[in-house]
Structures are given as structure tokens and as C-alpha cells.
Amino acid sequence: MSEHGGNIYAASQRTGIPERRIVDFSASINPLGVPEGAVRLMRRRIKDLPHYPEPLSEGLSARIAACLGVGEASVVCGNGSTELIYLIPRALKPEKVLIPSPTFGDYERACRHSGAAEVVFYSLRPENSFDLSPEGFIEAMSATAPPAEATGSPAVRAPKPCSLAFLCNPNNPTGRLVRKRDLLKIAEAAVDLSCHLVVDEAFIDFCPAESVAGEVPSHPSLIVLRSMTKFYALSGLRIGYGLFHPSVAGRIRAYKEPWTVNSLAQAAGLAVLEDGPYQEASREAMEREKVFMEEGLRKIGIPFIPSRANYYLLKVKDGPQVAALLEKKGILVRDCSSFGGLDRTYVRVAVRGRADNQRLLKEMAVICTPSS
């Protein structure tokens, strides 16, 4: 668990810098902060704290279903989408799982903990900007071609196709996007293979037109996970949801504990779903700051992977050293050496507000020697 970003508490203990003075670029959270509508509704709901929340977030699930045009039976809310990432392999009991590399490490961790018989990896290559080939991924899913071996995680070819596959879109930590039309090709192939395809859209709010959430009713093998913690800056509340075919959703609920989403998190979820002004302002601010960040990185000569999300994967000489030096300055970035498929020469940085972004670029210009 220490490999995740966003731990300002441990950084404060290591450095002696107060938590309030640490600038966290290691977690990719909307710099506009919590929407005011969510704050107001949570304040009104304080009086409800003596009561249990709805066991399965029924009210929030109904609102999500109405917003996305899916049936209520397809929606399962969770304590962040991470709860659902761990529930899926426990409930579906896959024999063989396909995961890209590099990507979010909890997919593999969840499958290993669930006792999945076999986990194989589809390698994303830096020379291709870590882009995923839909045709190549389908071949790997069907076992007509062996998945490439990921660093530190041997992939063993098996004759049977995969029964579960994960995709993060945009991918974490690369920020690369698989277009909607290509994802649907993979989803259609998954139906033929009787393979459940999990598409984690934790950062899709920054490019919502590419979401496949509304396609779940017509693609029975498709599972879409959404997070409310990144785009709406609600990480401390832990709120997310998944969209499943109703028969699959029933299997997930059979393994799910009740009351995992607290009353304030449910209230915040209701408030942000249709907060159009906040959504528009967030995307506009992020576009401005991404232009600023890219120009600044080019100016100081630090290579980066073009990203559709609110973070960048940077190529540096020594990622752990860069992260350690910045931490001493009260700046956290994500050392990516723990990601399968990446080495010590990568760090991930979030895009924050202008003052913070200027400070990061200034400090990186001093400490970073660009890699050749």
C-alpha cells in the first residue's frame, strides 16, 4: 500500500514539514477542490450521522442510472472504485486475467488476493508512447498470441482465453487514451470469448466523450468503473461506482458488505453528478494548466508522454532520486519504479493550479538532468 501516491502524512513525518505546507503532485486530484454544492449538501446531512446510511447507496445508484441512461440494477456504488476493483475478481472468480503493463497496480493485487489462477500481462512499449493496440489486446485476450512479458511479472502462455481483462482509460500512469470505437471493438470480442472486460474510467471526466459507460446495456461482458474522487476532489470521502450487466451486478452485490459508502459520501455523490458549471470550469482550467505544464517541461528539457488526463509521465535520469529531492522541498511526485513495465527513469506528476505548477517546474529545472 505504500506504493500509492497521495500520502502527505508519511511525507510530513519523514521531512518534518507540516502537512498543510506539502504540495502533493503524487495524487492526481482536481485543483479546483471540492464543489461548493457538495459542501453545502454534506453540511445539511450532518444531522443524519446518528443513522445508518442506505446499505447499498440506493438513492445515489438511482440518480447515477438516470444520468447515464442505464437501469438501476446495473449500478453498484463503492467505497471508491477501488472497493469494486477488489470485489470483481472475488465475485467472478476468473481463471485467467489479462492486464496491461504499465497500469494501476491494484488490478494485479486484487486478482492475486482473490486467488485468480493465472495473471498475464500485455506490455505497452515506450517507443509507441505506451499506446495500446486494440488488435494486439484482443489477440492476447483470446490467447491466439501470447501476451508480452512485463518487467518483474512473468507472463506464461496458456491455451485457454482470458475470462477477465482490465483496461484503465485514460491509463494510469501514462495518461494515454484508447478511443471509444476501439474499446467497443475489444468489448465485442470479449463477448465472443466469454471474457469480462473491466474498463476503469477513473479519469474519463477530463475527456467524457470517450466514455463507454452508456454502452454497458448493449455489451453484456462490459464492466465500467467510475471514480468521483479524482475529478471532484473527494479522495478523503472514498466514493465511486461500477456499471454491470444486471446478472453480473447481482454477483458483485452477493460479495459486497453493506454500508461501505457513508452518508456524507452519498450526499456528495448526489451533489456533483449534475454540477455542470463545476465540470465545465474544471475542464477549462485543466486545459490551460496542461498547456502551461507542457510548455514548461519542453523549456527545461524534460521529456513527457502526451496525456489526456490530469497528470504526466516524465522521463528523468533517476526517478527515486528526483522524488526524494523534491520531497525535501515539500513537493511530492510519484516515483514510478514500482509500476510493472517501468524502470527507475520515470516519475508521474499531477497538474495542479498555476502557482503550484510554477513551483514544480522551477524546482525540477534545478534538480533534473534530462535523460538522453
Q: What is the pLDDT of residue 124?
A: 97
Q: Is residue 372 domain-resident? A: no
List per-block mean pLDDT (blocks of 10 residues) for the chain, which spans 372 residues.
71 88 95 96 95 96 95 96 96 96 96 87 96 97 68 53 97 98 97 97 97 94 96 95 95 95 97 95 97 97 97 96 95 95 97 97 86 44
C-beta separation of 130 from 176 below 8 A: yes
Per-residue cell: 344: 527507475
Based on the domain organization, do 24 and 68 belong to the same domain? Answer: no
Based on the domain organization, do 27 and 46 belong to the same domain? Answer: no
Q: Is residue 239 domain-resident? A: yes
Q: Is residue 283 domain-resident? A: yes
> Of the residues 272, 307, 327, which one is the last residue of a structural domain?
272
CA distance 87 to 254: 10
Q: How is 141-167 classified by DSSP, letter by letter?
A: HHTSSPPPPBTTB-----SSPPSEEEE
CA distance 98 to 118: 9
Q: Is residue 95 domain-resident? A: yes
Task: Find the largest Cα–Cα distance for the chain.
Answer: 59
β-bridge partners, 96: 118
User: How many Cβ atoms from other residues are within 10 Å of residue 143's Cβ?
Assistant: 18
Per-residue cell: 46: 450532518
> Of the residues 238, 272, 306, which one is the last residue of a structural domain?
272
Based on the domain organization, do 267 and 282 belong to the same domain? Answer: no
Indicate which CATH number applies to the domain containing 200.
Answer: 3.40.640.10
List the Cα angle 323/3/292 in 5-degree steps.
Answer: 45
Q: What is the pLDDT of residue 6?
A: 66
Q: How far is CA 74 from the centre of its chain?
A: 21
Based on the domain organization, do 71 and 164 belong to the same domain? Answer: yes
Q: What is the pLDDT of residue 372?
A: 40
> Of the residues 242, 272, 302, which one is the last residue of a structural domain?
272
Based on the domain organization, do 100 and 165 belong to the same domain? Answer: yes
Which is it for the CA torsion 203, 206, 212, 214, positive or negative?
positive
Based on the domain organization, do 177 and 298 belong to the same domain? Answer: no
The b-or-e profile of 200-233 (16+ CB within 10 A means b, else e) is bbbbbbbbeebbbbebbeebbbbbbbbbbbbbbb
Based on the domain organization, do 247 and 314 belong to the same domain? Answer: no
Indicate which CATH number applies to the domain containing 297.
Answer: 3.90.1150.10
Q: What is the pLDDT of residue 148?
A: 56
| Total domains present in the chain | 2
Q: What is the pLDDT of residue 143?
A: 86
List the Cα angle 198/231/254 in 5-degree steps.
Answer: 40
Q: Which residue segment(s) compose the domain that 328 sits in?
A: 8-35+276-367
Q: Is residue 129 domain-resident? A: yes
Based on the domain organization, do 138 and 211 belong to the same domain? Answer: yes
